[in-house]
Amino acid sequence: MWMRIDPSDGVPIYDQIVRQVTFAVADGLLRPGELVPSVRELSRQLTVNPNTVARAYRQLQDEQVLRPVRGTGLAVAQGAAARCRKKRAALIRQRLQQFLNEARRSGLEKSELSSWIETEMARVYNAEAKK
């Protein structure tokens, strides 16, 4: 199974599920029409309470990422891929803006910040290469 939950991450479990499903749809890992694991099934796999999974799935329905198939389960909605890609981009951009604003408010110079970013980006993306 492609999902990984960290209960002590600070970010709520239901939110981690929402994000990972969203990203999986954005990446085409889950295709429109495909059924997602049932609430009980996923709750077993993640050793998480079914209510928590249900809450995540409910939110994904509100966001039109999933649609109910009565008595059968939940399926990825038509057009969800585009929505998810948009949402992912918006999320990342928002985080980026938050970070940059905080850095600027902290009195960091643009040049200094640039060099930090360069350093850390090399580290983070090299870690990926090694892995």
Of 82 and 121, which CB lies nearer to a second copy in the complex structure?
121
In the complex, least distance from residue 59 CB atom to DNA, rounded to whole angstroms: 10
For residues 44 and 95, which CB has a smaller minimum distance to a second copy in the complex? 95
Distance CA 104, CA 110 (A): 8
Q: Does 117 bind a second copy (CB under 8 A)?
A: yes
Burial annotation 83-120 (CB, 10 A radius, 16+ → b, else e): bbbebbeeeeeeeeeeeeeebeeeeeeeeeeeeeeeee
Q: Is 35 in the site for a second copy (CB under 8 A)?
A: no
Q: 61 touches which of DNA, a second copy, none (CB within 5 to 8 A by kind)? A: DNA
Q: Is 121 in the site for a second copy (CB under 8 A)?
A: yes
- Residue 107 binding result from DNA, a second copy, none, given CB thresholds of 5 to 8 Å by partner type: a second copy
Contact 14, 55 (CB under 8 A): yes
Residues that bind a second copy (CB under 8 A): 7-8, 12-13, 23, 26-27, 49, 62, 67, 69-71, 88, 91-93, 95-97, 99-108, 110, 113-114, 116-117, 120-121, 124-125, 128
